[in-house]
Amino acid sequence: MHIGTVASPNWARRRWRGPSGRSSRLMSGNGVYRGPRLRDAALISPPDLSRTLFWEAEGSISARQIVARAAALAERLPERGTAVVFHERRDYFVAALIAAWSRGATAVLPAGSGARDLEGIIGGADGAYCLSEQPLRQSPAIPVFIGAALPAGDAAAWIPSLPMDATAIRIFTSGSTGVPTGNDKSWATLAAAAAPTARMIGLDRLCTPSIVATVPSNHMYGLELTVLQVLQAGASVHVERPAYPADIARCLVESPSPRVLVTTPFHLRGLMESDIVLPPVARVISATAPMSAEFALSAERRICAPVHEIYGFTEIGSVATREPARQSDWTMRDDLIAISDGGVAVAAWRSFEDRKPFPDVVEVVDERRIRLLGRSRDIVKVAGKRASLPGLSAELTRIPGVEDGVLILMAEDEGRGLVSRLAAFVVAPALSATQIRHELRRFIDPAFMPRYVFHVSSLPRNETGKLRQGDLQKLAAEKLFRDELL
């Protein structure tokens, strides 16, 4: 496949040596790109350098501009090593990935955006460095390469490729149920999931969809929707990560139709409670926490677009989808099937021998459908009755006047039974604990009434709207200690 004559920098002609030790020449000796070979795959597909990848207030950013930026940055980077990517703007983020990959590095995506995550991420890795839009104050001190501005000339005319078996990314779980753990992803795994994910949520039925996302690109959900859909499935995305309704609306206006909003229930709630006027949206994609049918229907009425939910986990990525306003069961991605293996629910690939257990309590309806019952640690059992903490939390946030809220099980204390350990955190300035308990009785069994109701100004949510159990347990301990002092 002939792409075009190349005006490539010296680094683009070097051999790429990935973790496997194999080498592959990005460019032929005469400067003509010959297309991906058996063990290589183009990083940008369809391979059109004029295609728009990103949108910003000033207009569009093409694949050619991104590759030029990556080339300029790569000239300054060392060979191999570990590149910890802290970029927040999505165009900078993608350029940094391409630059690091071209030098044979594995790109590491921390679970958080702070440099405090570095020590646990890099461990004793040799040749570690950071890629960021601004200087970092981190420990341990490692080199930081600032790469943001578009280089002059904009002359890149080549499509970079990567060995299929290269370890392209190490991405971490959110840590919502414990310490974040790293997962290595080959380029083959990442690239192959892009098209099935697009089909799963209907992006393939939209002509060049423009994505606006409230989630960061360094989490698996954000990586799939704001990076892989752009590089491998023909979508484009706004460079910003808006969090507030006014900013979401502005980014949607700055993006052409058909528009797709990629978000979370937390961000959706803020949007639904605002009176901001939105431009036409073709589809809303949500993940990180299941939403009720009532909530989903309200969101659809507010935004005038269908809401699709994604269920997934870091070890695979997006696994299944549903329309929560109309469906309770989840439909598997078409390259995956659900299997009950010795009583353990697993997701397996159709085309090759590999499978991963679901991290949650899942009922396998058939190979194409699953029923999500919750995480095993989220199931509360009291007096022979069962309930899920996310379900109880959803009922809590239904109460008028509760802006945000969550129920948790307190850490194990000697002499305390299960019921006494249920606690609620609420952002509800106008409601007392007594009023909240009174309203909760309308929605939940009295057996699951929280013993503690803690008022807080805000909940410690991360960039994707998730709550880490460790942060909540720490907050609960501080509240209890303060109450004992009083």
**pLDDT one-digit tens code per residue, 463-477:** 777 787 778 878 877
Out of 55-59, 157-161, 394-398, the most confident range is 55-59
Of the two residues 375 and 290, the one the predictor is more confident about is 290
The whole-number average pLDDT for the span 428-456 is 89
Q: How far apart are CA 4 and CA 111, in angstroms?
A: 38
**Numbered ranges of CATH 3.30.300.30 in the chain:** 378-485
* pLDDT exceeds 60 at position 38: no
| pTM for this predicted structure | 0.77
- Please give the pLDDT value at position 20: 34
Distances (CA, A) of 337 to 48, 107, 348, 353, 385: 33, 29, 5, 12, 31
Q: Which of 159-168, 309-318, 418-427 has the lowest mean pLDDT?
A: 418-427
- Please give the pLDDT value at position 374: 73
* pLDDT exceeds 60 at position 397: yes
Helices (H), 279-423: 293-303, 389-397
With cut-offs at 50, 70 and 90, classify the pLDDT of residue 422.
confident
* pLDDT exceeds 80 at position 135: no
Q: How far apart are CA 383 and CA 146, in angstroms?
A: 58
- Please give the pLDDT value at position 354: 86
- Please give the pLDDT value at position 29: 31
Of the two residues 111 and 179, the one the predictor is more confident about is 111
- Please give the pLDDT value at position 51: 94
Q: How far apart are CA 408 and CA 472, in angstroms?
A: 8
How many other β-carbons are positioned within 10 Å of the β-carbon of residue 247? 15
Q: How far apart are CA 137 and CA 271, in angstroms?
A: 34
User: 378-485: what CATH class?
Assistant: alpha beta
With cut-offs at 50, 70 and 90, classify the pLDDT of residue 112.
low
- Please give the pLDDT value at position 154: 53
Tens digit of each residue's pLDDT (9 = 90 or more) over 295-346? 999 999 999 999 999 999 988 999 999 999 999 999 999 999 999 988 899 9
Q: Where are the beta strands (DSSP E) in 259-323?
A: 259-263, 283-286, 307-313, 317-322
With cut-offs at 50, 70 and 90, classify the pLDDT of residue 149.
low
The whole-number average pLDDT for the span 160-165 is 87
CATH number of 10-368: 3.40.50.12780
For the chain, the average pLDDT equals 81
Q: How far apart are CA 117 and CA 170, in angstroms?
A: 14
- Please give the pLDDT value at position 377: 67
With cut-offs at 50, 70 and 90, classify the pLDDT of residue 141.
low
- Which of helix, strand or coil describes residue 166? coil
- Please give the pLDDT value at position 382: 65
Strand order in the sheet with 236-238: 59-62, 52-56, 236-238, 210-213, 259-263, 283-286, 307-313, 317-322, 330-332, 369-374, 361-366
Tokens (6 digits) for 342: 């010795």
With cut-offs at 50, 70 and 90, classify the pLDDT of residue 139.
low
Out of 48-52, 127-131, 143-147, 249-253, the most confident range is 249-253
